[in-house]
Amino acid sequence: MDLTSKQRAYLKSLASVLEPVFQIGKSSLSPEVTDAINEAFNTKELIKISVLKNCADEPKDISYILAERTHSTVVQVIGRKIVLYKENKDNKKIELP
């Protein structure tokens, strides 16, 4: 899903108050972490993830891999924080402008 700049800005404003739901550490993107994030999209449409300093991979690289594996969209990567969005067709909570 491609987001317009207005939609991306709206999602960034919503994400600014969110706490990270997941932390990616030394083991980087294990299948368990990917599955857990994918499962979280069943209840949330917007997820913030923190990449710990002991993770060898770059947060930007991790964000694109996660987006591909979970069929979500990268909203932003700031420092070691990743924000992903995936529209929930059945239980839509976020109305994009």
Say what the pLDDT of residue 28 is. Answer: 87
pLDDT tens digits for 39-96?
999 889 999 999 999 998 999 999 999 999 999 999 999 999 999 999 987 777 887 8
Report the predicted TM-score, pTM, of the whole model to 2 decimal places: 0.91
pLDDT tens digits for 82-91?
999 999 877 7
Domain boundaries, the chain: 5-85
- Cα torsion for 81, 65, 2, 71, to the nearest 10°? -110
CATH class, domain 5-85, is alpha beta
Q: Among candidates 12, 63, 6, 70, which has minimal Cα distance to 38?
A: 70
CA dist 60 and 82 (Å) reads: 8
pLDDT tens digits for 13-41?
999 999 999 999 998 888 999 999 999 99
